[in-house]
A and B are shown apart, each in its own frame.
Chain A
Amino acid sequence: QSVLTQPPSVSGAPGQRVTISCTGSSSNIGTGYDVHWYQQPPGTVPKLLIYGNNNRPSGVPDRFSGSRSGASASLAITGLQPEDEADYYCQSFDTSLSAWVFGGGTKLTVL
């Protein structure tokens, strides 16, 4: 049971927009701790996608965006492409656990 809750799966057709939610609590996101997002295509190493809630590292397309509100965060992907098919993970800090925590991951399928 992950401290950060993500939907197990989402899907969308090429060109569409999808969002992935990451729900936390008052001991992590709700307290104001930043949320970061990673993308892991099948058989590969995770890659940083969004840091500090809504910042993209160099090289990440602006089709990817992040937001945070209250105890939740969201990753939005617009103009869905086949290569976006991957697992996506959110990550933050939990003050009760005094630990970095990951969401359980969301599998994105491009139909």
Chain B
Amino acid sequence: QVQLQESGPGLVKPSQTLSLTCSVSGGSISRGGYYWNWIRQPAGKGLDWIGHIYASENTRYSPSLKSRVTISVDASKNQFSLKLTSVTAADTAVYYCARGDHHDNNGYIDYWGQGTLVTVSS
């Protein structure tokens, strides 16, 4: 059973960088065939896909966030990370890390972390 756990600061100041880490247990992040995703959800709103990394080094990001986002993997720690620069109050949300599996022509999320609330405020 794969488990994911987000960690990182719950409060970030405006204009600073939001950094989160997702620790994966129950399976190696280096094993191919999976997408390692970050998804966020502002309070009372819908799911917002941020991006993912696959095959350890290939990334794909939401066009609306692409200029500010970096997702990377630390295979030695079985972790992957999110960095979001120049944050504003609009980036306040619950951030989920999640594993994506392939199905035919795209992928879906089969395992989710519990989510971590990040508030952007001075």
Residue numbers of A with Cβ under 8 A of B are 2, 32-34, 36, 38, 45-48, 51-52, 55, 57, 87, 89, 91-93, 97-105
Contacts and interface: CB of A to CB of B under 8 A. Distances in A.
Interface of B: 37, 46-49, 51-52, 60-63, 96, 100, 103-110, 112-115
B8 to A, nearest CB: 17
By secondary structure, the A interface counts as strand
A51 B96 contact: no
A45 B115 contact: yes
A92 B104 CA distance: 12
Contact of B103 (A32, A51, A87, A98): A51
17 contacts: A2-B46, A33-B106, A36-B103, A38-B47, A45-B113, A45-B114, A46-B96, A46-B109, A87-B46, A93-B105, A97-B62, A97-B63, A99-B62, A100-B60, A102-B47, A105-B46, A105-B47
A89 B47 contact: yes
B110 A57 contact: yes
A91 B46 contact: no
Contact of A102 (B49, B104, B106, B114): B49
Given A91-B108, A99-B62, A104 B46 contact: yes
